[in-house]
Amino acid sequence: MQTPKKEKQALIGDLLVRSELISRHDLTNALTIARQMALPIGHILSVNGFVSEEELSAALRVQALIRDKLLPEQQGIDALTSVRQKKVPLERALDEENWRSEYYEFTNNLGKLLIDANAVTKEKLQAGLAACHSSGLPLARVLVLQGAISEFVAYAALTAQTLLRDKKIARDQAVGSLRLTSLHGDTIEDYLEFGGLRKIRPDHVLRLGEMFVLSGLVSELDLLSAVETGLMEAQPIGHILVKHKLISESAIDAALKLQDLIREQKIDPLKAVDVLKEFASKGGAFDDIVSRIAKRKVKPATAGMANLDAKLLETVHGLGFVSETELATICREVSTSQMSVTEYLTQKTRVDDDKIKAAMRCRELVDIGTLTLEQAIFAVHIWLWSGGDFDQVLVNIGWLPGKKTNE
């Protein structure tokens, strides 16, 4: 029996020759140098001035699209010719070829959204796009790996893309809320709801992805890739996780049932995570595990911590500065490190000194009965939008005595 032949992949040098960016003679010379110096052929061509960095980046992106069967080879070659002859970006050259790809458009739209929200620089986005198209990894994951954006901002951008696609928000809402998220750190849902949009999801219901990360079944980076892939392919995240063998179908079914139980207030979210963890690792009857763990007394994540540290973490969590997932991680890592809670928050999360001061001021006012927790959360949202002194914001709202700044 003959071994099936591997499908021939487009080589970068061949693409450059066929699109008339370099001659066959130039390619032969560059290949010789590349072998002698053990360097990639593209690097040799760029350094020696045969192609510009922009042209090489375009060729690598075309190569990746052809490899992934997203772009017919001849269309890619014609587009590269236009890049050189007309001095236009690859995106415009592909438009002139009347080429469209849902994957490509999704990636470019995500990049434009991040740029418009000032969440990433143009230079970092271009580097991310080049790596995205050459590696085949989703753009959001690439930008996180390159340190261009945080995972938190990446999730916010993907959430905004989802809401835009489903026509639940306008583009200016997506851009504005994503900008605030990247600046201040509250979830994009918080900003959209504060801006007048109806609640996007019920309170206290964990997303599937959050459940899988908290239970240790999926890493945050793998989840990020799955979310973006699911959006591009219009597939549920559970389907993507199963397809890539990151999670089993039985674990997906269990997580969906647990979401219903949380929504019906029949189990606490953190207990639901414990159920999922045990069910996925040990198996057994799902209902029996739920029944046993639901009756278990659960210590708060801050149990065992110094009183002031516990109060600080409970407050920044209650105000929405850190998520349930982050709270559990912070408590675990602080207990095994030499860092204080304040040091950890300022160095490893998006909570800066100003937010810590605002959080502790809220705690003080709630403890003495000046504010309710709901008022404190509302005041923090106002402060994040307006900036300035937190106490002055409370004065302007009328919840602290003093002279209002607009009087």
Mean pLDDT for back-to-back runs of 10 residues, the chain (407 residues): 45 88 89 84 85 86 76 88 89 79 77 91 86 72 85 83 80 83 66 49 63 83 78 76 88 90 84 90 90 81 84 85 80 85 86 89 90 80 78 85 60
Considering the domain architecture, whether residues 125 and 194 belong to the same structural domain is answered as yes
Considering the domain architecture, whether residues 362 and 285 belong to the same structural domain is answered as no
Considering the domain architecture, whether residues 313 and 327 belong to the same structural domain is answered as yes
* Residue-number span of the structural domain to which 55 is assigned: 8-100
What is the spatial distance between Cα 243 and Cα 140, in angstroms, rounded to a whole number?
A: 20
Q: Which residue has the tokens 């269309």?
A: 75
Considering the domain architecture, whether residues 92 and 34 belong to the same structural domain is answered as yes
Do residues 188 and 156 make contact, with C-beta atoms less than 8 angstroms apart?
yes
Q: At what angle do helices 151-165 and 171-184 cross, to 10 degrees?
A: 170
Considering the domain architecture, whether residues 195 and 215 belong to the same structural domain is answered as no
Q: What is residue 203's predicted lDDT score, i.e. its pLDDT?
A: 47
Considering the domain architecture, whether residues 96 and 123 belong to the same structural domain is answered as no
The verdict on residue 150 lying in a domain is yes
Considering the domain architecture, whether residues 282 and 315 belong to the same structural domain is answered as no
The verdict on residue 167 lying in a domain is yes
What is the spatial distance between Cα 15 and Cα 10, in angstroms, rounded to a whole number?
A: 7
Q: What is residue 407's predicted lDDT score, i.e. its pLDDT?
A: 43
Considering the domain architecture, whether residues 33 and 49 belong to the same structural domain is answered as yes
Q: What is residue 300's predicted lDDT score, i.e. its pLDDT?
A: 76
Domain tally, the chain: 4
Q: What is residue 187's predicted lDDT score, i.e. its pLDDT?
A: 62
Q: What is residue 82's predicted lDDT score, i.e. its pLDDT?
A: 92
Q: What is residue 206's predicted lDDT score, i.e. its pLDDT?
A: 67
Q: What is residue 276's predicted lDDT score, i.e. its pLDDT?
A: 92
- 206: burial class by Cβ within 10 Å (0-12, 13-18, 19+)? buried
Considering the domain architecture, whether residues 96 and 106 belong to the same structural domain is answered as no
Considering the domain architecture, whether residues 340 and 320 belong to the same structural domain is answered as yes
The verdict on residue 37 lying in a domain is yes
Last residue of a domain, one of 266, 294, 322: 294
Reference 318, options 376, 261, 271; nearest CA is 376
Distances (CA, A) of 333 to 5, 144, 272, 323, 355: 51, 21, 22, 15, 21
Considering the domain architecture, whether residues 112 and 178 belong to the same structural domain is answered as yes
Last residue of a domain, one of 100, 129, 162: 100
Do residues 341 and 312 make contact, with C-beta atoms less than 8 angstroms apart?
yes
Considering the domain architecture, whether residues 322 and 389 belong to the same structural domain is answered as yes
Q: At what angle do helices 353-367 and 341-348 cross, to 10 degrees?
A: 130
Q: What is residue 196's predicted lDDT score, i.e. its pLDDT?
A: 47
